[in-house]
Amino acid sequence: MKRTVIISEQQFTKLIKKILKEEDNMDNNTFPKNHKELINMMPDSLKNLFYTQWQAKQNPKWHIEGNTLKHIIIVLKRAFEHYPNNPDIILAALFHDLGKLDTYAINPKTGQPTAYGHEVKSGEYLEKYKDWVNSFEGINFDKIKYLVLNHMVIKPSTWDNMRQQKKDPIEQNPSFEDLKNFTDHLDGGGY
């Protein structure tokens, strides 16, 4: 037996909006083809966080781009260029420096900008947007987090002075090669 349900125009509008939103979310499973598409797919609060990074100046010795926003965009472009089929590295590129504005300071010894501990804050932002990140098919969230949290420790100035017992768990991670590639090929300064 068929039943007829009568709903108001307002209820009908809400239903249509819900259906359209669900269709939009289904499109989220398709990973974007470039950095612009990825940025456009970000939730509004993440976009706001992303765009405020222009306020975080960078030490020109390491990043001649001038600010963190430019640096993240450059790293994202490199990730799409060098690792187009590796969404884990691409998402790590997006999140790796998002904690810089929160940890931004001027080093009293050098007078240069610093963001000590930004990778921990970046990892917290990754956790905050975990549902969005996991909305893409084939994502390895733990790998992305490993890359974000460890991208600074493998820099030569830190790595070369680190005791082996601290290096061991980092080196034994199955994503260690990706970490080296991320740091060597994507996260360098300059254009």
Return the CATH number at 157. Answer: 1.10.3210
Residue 12 is predicted with a pLDDT of 65
The reply to whether 55 falls in a domain is yes
Residue 135 is predicted with a pLDDT of 96
Q: How far is CA 83 from CA 33, 75, 91, 111, in A?
A: 11, 11, 11, 36
Residue 2 is predicted with a pLDDT of 62
The reply to whether 101 falls in a domain is yes
Residue 191 is predicted with a pLDDT of 41
Check if the beta carbon of residue 90 is closer than 8 Å to that of residue 42.
Answer: no
CA torsion angle 166 167 172 173 (round to 10): 90
Residue 64 is predicted with a pLDDT of 75
- What domain range is 131 assigned to? 30-186
Residue 75 is predicted with a pLDDT of 94
| pTM of the predicted structure, to 2 decimals | 0.81
The reply to whether 21 falls in a domain is no
Q: Enumerate residue ranges in the chain where pLDDT < 70.
A: 1-5, 12, 15, 17-29, 188-191
